Amino acid sequence: MLPLSLLNASKGRPMQVELKNGETYNGHLVNCDPWMNISLQKDGETFYSLEECYIRGSSIKYLRIQDDVIDNVKEESQRNKNQMRNRNNMRGRGRGRNSNRGRGANNNIRS
């Protein structure tokens, strides 16, 4: 799970962003891209708040995300892996299962 994929996976989740100049922004992650540019949406009324903000990736020092995101991502990637494996297995079995292909409609009924 690459850092940027983790960022991608935390879309919609609250996070704290610290910029290189030491300013911090809290908010829900709306969108991000491969350059780490991000847009945040306001998250409660705790601080002086902007409705939305866009942060250029190059000005970021670090992002803090919730603890459970990383676990969710792990589970999901494991599930995807299993799914892929199943699909691959299916592909392997394909010929065997449909061995009656092209031999007429009733060939698969054996008495």
Partner 1 sequence: MESFLPGTASLIDSVDKKLLVILRDGRNLIGILRSYDQFANLVLQNTLERIIVNDCYGEKERGVFIIRGENVVLLGEIDKDKEQDGYPNLNKVSYEKIKELHEQEIKDKKARELQKQKILLERGFSEEFGDYDLY
Query: Could you give the maximum distance between any two Cα atoms of the chain, in Å?
Result: 80
- Residue listed under structure tokens 């969710």: 72
Query: Cβ 88 to partner 1, closest distance in Å?
Result: 25
Task: Considering only the stretches 3-11, 43-51, 83-91, 96-104, report the one whose residues sit in contact with partner 1 under the rule CB under 8 A.
Answer: 3-11
d(CA 104, CA 9): 49
Among 4, 30, 41, 49, binds partner 1 (CB under 8 A): 4
1 binds partner 1 (CB under 8 A): yes
DSSP SS3 for 91 = helix
d(CA 61, CA 14): 17
Task: Considering only the stretches 39-47, 48-56, 57-65, 86-94, report the one whose residues sit in contact with partner 1 under the rule CB under 8 A.
Answer: 57-65
| Nearest in space to 54 (alpha carbons), one of 19, 5, 10 | 19
Residues of this chain that bind partner 1 (CB under 8 A): 1-4, 6-7, 20, 22, 36, 57-58, 60-67, 69-70
